[in-house]
Structure 1
Amino acid sequence: MKILILGAKGMLGQELVRVFSDHEVLAWDREDCNICDFEKAREKIISTTPSLIINCAAYNNVDMAEGEGREICFKLNAEAPANLARVAKELGASFVQYSSDYVFGGTKETGYTEDDPLDPISEYGKSKAEGERLLGEIGGKIYIIRPSRIFGVKGSGEGVKESFVDLMIRLSAEKNEFDMVDSELTSPTYAPDLALRTREIVENHPPGIYHGAQDGACTWYSFAQEIFRLIDREDIKLNPVGSDFYPRPAKRPVCSVLINTKLPPARSWQEALAEYLRDC
């Protein structure tokens, strides 16, 4: 099977290239295909005739999206995926798009299932929700997978950000006390596990919406606690604070735990984190 992976140099994209390495993989990043230039992107994709298109390219600067980044945010997270889905439908190919837990407002304390109604509270969340809506209208063999707080080996592409895990480890070399937000409960996602989950979904399950995060949930505070415990940094002092301690342009969901009802249980975020820290 010929598989096109867009955003192949990102944290998730590089893992997908590895997971599908026994197939013919076209690993494209922004220098290979500008998905915001629809006509040129369509022409290039059509010429390669992939059977599966996986889009990892996205805009994820949540706060910038509240202002000057809003236009490109909606273009990358809604309009471009919709155009890619149309190309996939034209080819008869399957299409995978990654969404976000931020499509939910965070008022449901028990967490959110795949079929819960969307109620985003930020422009970033709205862009992801709009992308999901457009894909639903287009139809075809579309898989929407929602992760949250992805961590793993940093990608090599231009502008790729480090994960929260890597950020904490890097900053711990400079200081030993942090004020950490002890709210915004959600489910972290390990990039290698998400790549494997993606393959499992497209090979064994019908098109639809899936949750691809690890099992369990944590706040930023408890996430940091586990990171420093696993790297034996008992000298680090963490001070739990509320979300209002760090004023930010974009609102965040208080609880956006992704509940998986369609797939076998994922391993816990703690187990995945331990593997990452052991291997990195």
Structure 2
Amino acid sequence: MSHLDAERLALIALGEDADPDESAHLQECSLCATEFTELSRAVLVGRSTLTVGDLEAPPARVWERIAAEVGMAAASAPDVDTDSATIDVAPAADIVDGPAASDSDETPEPKRGTRRWTKVVFALAASVAAVLVVVGVTSILRPAPTELAAAALDAFPGHPGAAGTAVVVEDPDGERQITVELDADAAGTDAYREVWLITADASAIVSLGVLEGSEGTFAIPDDVDIDEYVLVDISEEPLDGDPTHSGDSIVRGELESV
């Protein structure tokens, strides 16, 4: 089965109408359908970022390298306002249907398909750049989680050589999580490991979940006070359907405020 070429898929994703044969092919060919879906997502993301405001202008050498990579004249790179250090990114449809590169006797005009495809590449590249700028700024402005407490987890006699750590953090939304790491021999084939919080006098215990592998992060329920549930315990549990603690602790340690 022949596939739709990359240029047609990109142009359809950008909004051009598919002819009946192309539509039928996209219904039958999973490979082309997957590629079309990915391109459509890229276009959707790109268009959603066109209203976020001015983007920081990269150095001219960046556009020169992009142009060299796709075999396009450097003069065709997006316009850069050097005074305000921003990029003027036009809507994708305008980029596709914009004027062709100027003709000259010395440089033959590239074929229409090639010219349009390189413009599509620039449109998608600009969209991706906008997304990266937004994500980067959001990551910088969002406060980092606050570390509340930590514990060193020591081995029980039945598991010599085991060790672990636990760290409790609170994110800006007030949600608390505990990340545990365990260094111990692998659990038996008929057993699994579970993470618990226990009060200092062992009068109450809360299961946080099953630990798969050597590290895991678990949400701490809102009604659990870590000033009371100060012991972090990792146990080995048999596959017997009993939700209570087996009594076979691998490591345990006490949380201390940071």
TM-score greater than 0.5 by the shorter chain: no
TM-score range, shorter chain: under 0.3
Q: Structure 2-normalised TM-score?
A: 0.21
> Larger RCO: Structure 1 or Structure 2 (Cα < 8 Å, ≥ 6 residues apart)?
1
Larger radius of gyration: 2
Query: In proportion to residue count, which structure has more helix?
Result: 1
